[in-house]
Amino acid sequence: MTPSETGALELDAADPGHRELFDVPPAQGGDYPEVAYFAGNSLGLRPKATRSELLEDLDSWAALGVEGHLDAARPWLPYHELLTGPAARLVGALPSETVVMNTLTVNLHLLMVSFYRPTRSRHRIVIEDSAFPSDSYAVRSQVAFHGYDAEDAVIRLRPRPGEHSLRTADVVEQLGGDVALVLLGGVNYLTGELMDIPTITKAGHAAGSIVGWDLAHAAGNVPLALHDWDVDFAAWCSYKYLNSGPGAIAGAFVHERHLGADLPRFEGWWSTDAKTRFEMTPESRPPATADAWQVSNPPIFSMSPVRTSLEIFDKIGIEVLRERSVRLTAYLEKLLAGTAEIITPADPARRGAQLSVRVRGAGELSRQLRFEYGVIADSREPDVLRFAPVPLYSTYHDCWRAGTALAEVMA
């Protein structure tokens, strides 16, 4: 029996999210004033508090000029430290292991400078075949920079024939003695598969490899415990599930056992210890924290929306959001089942807040859903539609709208 609209509204009354904290765009089609938004895995919605809090930081510039570095309500000089604690809690790290800086791929490159240390006998990098293209570009360019052939040195993991997701055992099997670096997506952008991060990390270390994670689709989506899982390094963006705006400043993690170690690292103005920064010496004195991987003066007006968003996660808690995410995604799964082939793992423990369906003409279907039904879901060539029921602001009624609309356009 297909769930009813009344039933969806009753579920929302019993299991509400936090939609009231966000600005939801108006619908350009359909029978409802707001869109049913399922593209939070591409760009999260704007928290209502973002505008006013960003304006407060801008007003400090107007009122204080350069003195805002020390005298603003939120002084600019140590501003990035306001984000460190909340970001660390979100990814299960120590504050000393966490830094908010740059953008995702820039951070991956800076971290690979330190952690991709190829030798003739151990120089290969393992990624998933369906990794987001920028990860492929990054690892191929790193391999080439060190003088190796990317076609040979980059191992691309593929699911078994007829399957859509990677099996953990198959990943582990590929971690041989010639692998220098394992760099996988914590949640795969295409299928929504949640990888077994602790098991793969342990296996990579047993094989003698460094293990890093791209958490673009995992941070703010699923609970993480990077410190306890013994991950070497990780990086994530802040504009998807972290709702910090397009191109928002990103985050990075370096396990404490590497802090203060003699690792190669690119350095700049913000890499040196803050206590001695203004002594203006020519030699950097990096602190024994993840701050040592910073390069440039942090962009305050880009950090402001990240701070606002992290406060929401701190207040609500990622574990609470994960519980609602599991319920919401399961409800959407019931609505989509039978309409199109779902390629996301059926086990809730193996997926995040995403269901990907395989359909013909995904791009055109996405446009129909948006302009005829007010449902926003994105397409990935050639044949995948991605629906992300984000527990912060998506509703059961949104899911009902999406399921009903997809069934109609498919018919």
For the chain, 411 residues long, the average pLDDT of each consecutive 10-residue run is 87 97 94 97 98 97 97 96 98 98 98 97 97 97 97 97 96 95 98 98 98 98 98 98 97 97 94 91 94 95 98 98 98 94 97 96 95 96 96 98 95 85
| pLDDT for position 397 | 98
The Cβ of residue 86 has, within 10 Å, a number of other Cβ atoms equal to: 20
Q: What are phi and psi of 339, to 5 degrees?
A: -85, -40
Instruction: Look at the domain 5-41+318-410 and name its fold.
Output: Aspartate Aminotransferase, domain 1 (3.90.1150)
Helix (H) or strand (E) holding 68: helix 68-71
Give the integer Cα–Cα distance in Å for 31 and 249. Answer: 36
Is the CA virtual torsion 345, 312, 47, 31 positive or negative?
A: positive
| pLDDT for position 2 | 67
Q: What are phi and psi of 191, to 5 degrees?
A: -100, -20
Pick the closest to residue 43 from 311, 215, 344, 244 (CA basis).
244
Q: Domain ranges in the chain? A: 5-41+318-410, 55-315
* Cα 253 to the center of its chain, rounded Å: 13
Task: Determine the 3-state secondary structure of 215 from DSSP.
Answer: coil
Calculate ∠ Cα 22-24-30, nearest 5°: 155
| pLDDT for position 3 | 82
Tokens of 22: 């966000």
Task: Determine the 3-state secondary structure of 53 from DSSP.
Answer: helix
* Cα 276 to the center of its chain, rounded Å: 33
Cα 391 to Cα 137, 243, 300, 404, distances in angstroms: 32, 12, 28, 20
Instruction: Look at the domain 55-315 and name its fold.
Output: Aspartate Aminotransferase; domain 2 (3.40.640)
Burial pattern 40-74, b for ≥16 Cβ within 10 A else e, equals: bbbbbbbbeebeebbeebeebeeebeeebbeebeb
Pairs from 357-360 (Cβ < 8 Å, separation ≥ 24): 357/384, 357/385, 357/387, 357/406, 358/383, 358/384, 359/383, 359/384, 359/385, 359/410
Instruction: Check: pTM over 0.85? Answer yes or no.
Output: yes
